[in-house]
Every structure is written in structure tokens, then in C-alpha cells.
């Protein structure tokens, strides 16, 4: 029997009930339609370097100027972008379903700007900074939406040292509170992984853990990822279109 895409989406939509526990993991692909470049797709390299070579404490220690150039550029790009239909649908779900959690690897803040509730920022925020020296006078981190900074590396207003972006770098741990709340959210009925290459851990591990705990697991991506084979429903297509279709079937 051949099942049509419409039947598949209708079946998925029927799983969304008022008391459903819904957990979503997002990655850079969700912001692609807004014009924010992904990390591993076209335009992912910066001056011929991969994100794994730029986003590390070692790279920052060696050359904070270069690392800040990249973040300053990304801040400038993101500041001009708007949430797209994928962000909008997820924001609506967060407002409609009381047991909804969104875990995002994105640091761009577009989910929050779309009005999404209950967002766990797994990799921090590009709009936060902290003192690289961790000086005693400064708070653990603070918000700074300057885009772009005219002087890089930007200076700590408390001690005059340099600040670093408030994001999680390769080799650093996830905030324990964020990790705990993310793990708790894996006890869910539906788990959707959307627009992530599923190669960066520990975030990618959440997908497998949700499946192990019995969630109905769905992937939405324009290409097949390493996670797809073990999931219940891999859906191939742009997040902004597939989520829009699912939402139409739900309503």
C-alpha cells in the first residue's frame, strides 16, 4: 500500500493533542530561510576555517581578534534578519501546548523573537557576553546587542579586560541547569529534530535518548542526517514548509 505525504502528515498531526508532551530540538537549518548561514552548508566556512577551528577556548586564547571578527560578522548578519515560518509555527505550538519544550542549538535568538515560550538555549546566546578573565566585579554574563562592535575584542566595562561571546564552544560543557531541563524534556510523546546536522554532541545524543525513552521521533531536514535511520519519521524538506504543512493538518 502506498501512503501519500498527506496521509503521513495527517497521522503526525493527529498525535498533537492538548496534553501531548512535545519536545523540539532545533539547529541552524531552522534559521536558514531567515538568511542566517548554517555552519556546515554553503557559506559555512569563514576565511577558510571551519566552526570547529574558530569556536574553541584555545582559538580565542590564541587570537581573540579573529574569533571576534567572526562573531561580530554573525551578529551583524543576524541583527538584520527576521524569524521565518518555521520559527512562527514553533512559537504557536509553544503557546498552544502547555507541555511544550524547545531545545535550540541556535544562538541567534530568533525563536525568542518569534515569541516562543519555554526555550532552552543549549549553546547559549550570541547576544550575551562575559568577561574572559571572569573578573570579580562583573556578573556571570550580560546582554549586549551592539552589532557590530566598533572595537574588537570588546572590553569588559568592569575590569577593562576583554569579553568573550556567551556561547558554548567546542570542548566546553553545557550549562548544568540547561542540560538537566533538556534531559527532563526527553520524557515526551513527540520529539522533533529540525534543521540540525545531528553531528555535534551532546545535542545530537538527545535525539537518540528521546527515542530510547519511547518518544515518537520525527526529523525535518532538507537532507538525510546520521540520525535519520533510527527515527520513526524522517521528513525531507525545508523546515519552514514542512512545519507549515503540519500546522495546517493540526488546525
Tell me the CB-side half-sphere exposure of residue 163, using CA atoms within 13 A. 27
> Alpha-carbon dihedral of residues 37, 101, 88, 128, nearest 10 degrees?
-50
Q: Which CB, 21 or 107, lies closer to ligand OAD?
A: 107
Q: Out of 21, 74, 87, 123, which residue is the one contacting ligand OAD (CB under 6 A)? A: 123
Residue with cell 525535518: 220
Q: Which CB, 21 or 103, lies closer to ligand OAD?
A: 103
Pick from 239, 251, 232, 222: which is nearest to 102 by CA?
A: 239
Binding-site size, ligand OAD (CB under 6 A):
28
- In the bound complex, which residue of the shown chain has the CB atom lying closest to ligand OAD? 29
Q: Is residue 42 involved in binding ligand OAD (CB under 6 A)? A: no
Pick from 162, 137, 138, 160: which is nearest to 152 by CA?
A: 162
| Span 12-31, contacts to ligand OAD by CB under 6 A | 27-29
Handedness of CA 41, 116, 112, 56 (dihedral sign): negative
87, 111, 123, 245: the catalytic one is 123
**Where are any strands of DSSP class E within the chain?**
22-26, 100-104, 119-121, 124-131, 142-143, 163-167, 190-194, 216-221, 233-236
Q: Out of 24, 67, 162, 168, which residue is the one contacting ligand OAD (CB under 6 A)? A: 168
Least distance from C-beta 191 to ligand OAD, angstroms?
A: 16
Q: Please indicate whether residue 87 is annotated as part of the active site.
A: no
Q: Is residue 33 involved in binding ligand OAD (CB under 6 A)? A: yes
Residues 38 and 223: beta-carbon distance below 8 Å: no
Q: Out of 23, 238, 246, 250, which residue is the one contacting ligand OAD (CB under 6 A)? A: 238
C-alpha span between 233 and 249 (Å, rounded)? 16
**Where are any strands of DSSP class E within 2-147?**
22-26, 100-104, 119-121, 124-131, 142-143
Q: Is residue 225 involved in binding ligand OAD (CB under 6 A)? A: yes
Least distance from C-beta 137 to ligand OAD, angstroms?
A: 27
Q: Is residue 165 involved in binding ligand OAD (CB under 6 A)? A: no
Q: Out of 36, 103, 163, 167, which residue is the one contacting ligand OAD (CB under 6 A)? A: 167
What is the DSSP code (8-state) at residue 133? T
Which residues are catalytically annotated? 123
Kindly list the residues in this chain that would bind ligand OAD in the complex (CB under 6 A).
Answer: 27-29, 32-33, 38-41, 44, 51, 55, 105, 123, 167-169, 195-197, 200, 220-223, 225, 238-239
Amino acid at each position: 500500500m502506498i501512503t501519500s505525504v498527506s496521509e503521513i502528515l495527517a497521522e503526525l498531526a493527529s498525535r498533537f493533542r492538548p496534553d501531548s508532551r512535545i519536545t523540539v530540538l532545533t539547529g541552524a537549518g531552522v534559521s536558514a530561510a531567515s538568511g542566517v548561514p548554517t555552519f556546515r552548508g554553503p557559506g559555512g566556512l569563514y576565511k577558510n576555517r571551519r566552526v570547529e577551528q574558530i569556536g574553541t577556548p584555545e582559538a580565542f586564547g590564541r587570537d581573540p581578534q579573529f574569533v571576534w571578527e567572526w562573531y561580530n560578522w554573525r551578529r551583524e548578519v543576524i541583527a538584520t534578519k527576521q524569524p521565518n515560518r518555521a520559527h512562527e509555527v514553533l512559537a504557536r505550538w509553544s503557546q498552544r501546548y502547555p507541555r511544550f519544550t524547545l531545545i535550540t542549538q541556535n544562538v541567534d535568538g530568533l525563536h525568542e523573537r518569534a515569541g516562543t515560550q519555554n526555550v532552552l538555549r543549549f549553546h547559549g546566546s550570541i547576544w550575551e557576553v562575559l568577561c574572559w578573565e571572569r573578573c570579580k566585579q562583573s556578573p556571570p554574563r550580560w546582554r549586549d546587542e551592539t552589532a557590530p562592535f566598533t572595537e574588537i575584542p570588546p572590553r569588559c566595562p568592569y575590569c577593562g579586560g576583554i569579553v568573550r561571546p556567551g556561547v558554548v564552544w567546542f570542548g566546553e560543557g553545557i550549562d548544568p541547569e540547561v542540560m538537566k531541563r533538556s534531559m527532563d524534556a526527553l520524557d515526551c510523546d513527540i520529539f522533533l529534530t529540525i534543521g540540525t546536522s545531528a553531528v555535534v554532541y551532546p545535542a545530537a545524543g538527545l535525539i537518540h535518548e528521546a527515542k530510547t525513552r519511547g518518544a515518537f521521533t520525527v526529523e525535518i531536514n532538507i537532507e538525510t542526517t546520521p540520525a535519520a535511520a533510527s527515527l520513526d519519521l524522517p521528513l525531507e524538506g525545508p523546515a519552514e514548509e514542512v512545519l507549515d504543512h503540519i500546522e495546517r493538518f493540526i488546525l
